[in-house]
Structure 1
């Protein structure tokens, strides 16, 4: 079980955090403290894995406590849970090793995502075998892909960028023939790129029929994507 300590001087927020923790599998709530001095005392006595840390507290604020935790080499990870949204506060927290930063108020789903991500990170680090670069990228850092996404056969990466740029320029619907002329490709070639964007849900496609019954495909950029 992952042991969690809540450092929060607002009783209502602290109780909400406790209830959230108890809803997530493999995490156990280990108590609430109201200030930095109490937190340091608990961290010396108990083996805590994760601290949920508020910033606005009397005497020693959360950022000062986080700095002391690092200075004293306390083996614990910290997720900041605070209403502080200034760039300086966030930057200071991250530089002192906070593994996540939740801005109040937040939904349970975001809280849960933070703890689950921490659990995966902890499991990877505590594994018996060493980690490869790909393991670090995928499990701990920013989900960096090991290699570029492989494109369908016959598509060129630079041409994709060029076609997509032209699509974004068009505010109205267009046909494959119109886009081919606009970009400077053959209709056969442009349809391959349009099909690729359609498969990624980046294009809406509507089919209409002319007087002779021939279908006409009209495309429109899905700007929500």
Structure 2
């Protein structure tokens, strides 16, 4: 099956790269592009496009207006959103409006290809008799991509990182390393690597208190950034 694709971006060079990249991925046909929100809406309405790659910031306009238009008009169209690094707002809003993937500038052809191939895999969910493991794997990979780096440090895995963050789901107070180790069933040595990683990436804050014996006790809680991610259902 061939999927039709278009792009909305105000940089001609980026549009050209989208077209060249699309031609290199099997199963897709390029349908054209637009450089403003208005022309993008017209393209969506007049051309048979299955999904669109759209930049979040378009001059004085933004991709949120496009996503609202697609939802209000009940258009059967999926969106990949182009964002800037550390742009949590666009990721959060995009998730709410059903964006299927995010590409952070500058992105490589390999990442572009991965997004298109993942979309093809997602469409296979429409077939009957899917295994639960297939569905879990697909949604698990997409759900956490918004805030975990693609290239994790050595010794850090996505699955364990998510398990650590889940420990903060129902907690509004500080948690010690011992408490987190008990909840996650991760050894203290391994856990410290993840706590250091999340502290450095701004998702956790650390506080050191001193017990009556004089020994320091480290405890952690979600930062405002971590809380925002939690409230929007990412963890």
* TM-score interval for Structure 1 and Structure 2 normalised by the shorter chain: 0.5 to 0.7
How far did residue 109 of structure 1 move? Answer: 1.0
1:26–1:165 CA distance, 2 compared to 1 (3 A): same
The answer to whether the 8 A contact 2:31-2:47 is kept is no
The answer to whether the 8 A contact 1:9-1:33 is kept is yes
Aligned residues: 152
Q: Secondary structure at the match of 2:44?
A: helix
- For 2:82, the equivalent position in structure 1 comes to 81
Deviations 1:157-211, CA, capped at 9 Å, x for gaps: x9xx57x535788xxxxxxxxxxxxxxxxxxxxxxxxxxxxxxxxxxxxxxxxxx
Say whether 1:142 aligns with 2:140: yes
After the TM superposition, list the runs of 4 or more consecutive aligned residues in structure 1 that deviate by more than 6 angstroms.
none
In 2: Cα distance, 1:167 partner to 1:53 partner: 40
Say whether 1:111 aligns with 2:112: yes
The answer to whether the 8 A contact 2:68-2:97 is kept is yes
- For 2:21, the equivalent position in structure 1 comes to 20
In 2: Cα distance, 1:83 partner to 1:138 partner: 26
Q: Secondary structure at the match of 1:102?
A: strand
Q: Secondary structure at the match of 2:74?
A: coil
Alignment of 1:34-113 (within 5 A): 34-58=35-59, 60-83=61-84, 85-113=86-114
Q: Secondary structure at the match of 1:47?
A: coil
165, 177, 183: which one pairs with 2:188?
165
The answer to whether the 8 A contact 2:83-2:90 is kept is no
In 1: Cα distance, 2:29 partner to 2:86 partner: 28
In 1: Cα distance, 2:103 partner to 2:136 partner: 22
In 1: Cα distance, 2:89 partner to 2:63 partner: 13
In 2: Cα distance, 1:121 partner to 1:167 partner: 34
The answer to whether the 8 A contact 2:50-2:77 is kept is yes
1:134–1:16 CA distance, 2 compared to 1 (3 A): same
For the aligned residue pairs, the C-alpha RMSD in angstroms reads: 2.7
- For 1:122, the equivalent position in structure 2 comes to 123
How far did residue 92 of structure 1 move? Answer: 0.7
In structure 2, the gaps of 5 or more residues are: 144-158, 160-181, 193-235
In 1: Cα distance, 2:190 partner to 2:34 partner: 55
In structure 1, the gaps of 5 or more residues are: 146-157, 170-225
1:123–1:84 CA distance, 2 compared to 1 (3 A): same
In 2: Cα distance, 1:114 partner to 1:142 partner: 15
